[in-house]
Structures are given as structure tokens and as C-alpha cells.
Amino acid sequence: QLWQWLHVPGQHLDDGTAIDLALLDATLAQLPARLGDTAALPGSARIPESIALLADLSRREELTDFLTLPAYDRLD
């Protein structure tokens, strides 16, 4: 859904805010703080990598068929 909102012109939130790359960037930048203390969570060290992957996938011109496939490539 996120990809579609970003790639179909004229999408807005209920308050009129445009759904665009600036909103995506601002929202993703806030995620670590909104998650709070994640030190005890399994895989917490990969949260920044996950956020970067979501940003990358959201910006692509074509929607990835399965969003998990690019993530699998990053597994150890």
C-alpha cells in the first residue's frame, strides 16, 4: 500500500498532507525514536537496515513482487 500511495499522484492523508517522499523520509527518520529502547529485542541491531530497505523498496519505480525477497538477501 505504501508503494502505491507514493507512486499514484495526488495522494493525501486525511489532514491534507501530501503522501510523498518527503513524508516517507520524515516518518522513517522518526521510527527509531518511536520504537523506544529496542536493545532487548531479537534482531534490534538490524532495525536501521530494515528502515533503509523499506525506503529503498518504496522508491523503486516497479513494485517488488515479494517484499521479503530483498530482505532474505541480507540475512547472514
Say what the pLDDT of residue 66 is.
86
What is the number of domains present in the chain? 1
- pTM of the predicted protein model: 0.82
Q: Which domain holds residue 53?
A: 2-72
Query: Rounded to the nearest 5 degrees, what angle is found at the Cα of 40, between the Cα atoms of 37 and 43?
Result: 100
Nearest to 54 by CA among 74, 24, 75, 9: 24
Q: How confident is the model at residue 67 (pLDDT cuts 50, 70, 90)?
A: confident
What is the per-residue pLDDT across 27-55, written as a single tens digit (0 to 9) for each? 999 998 998 888 888 888 889 999 999 99
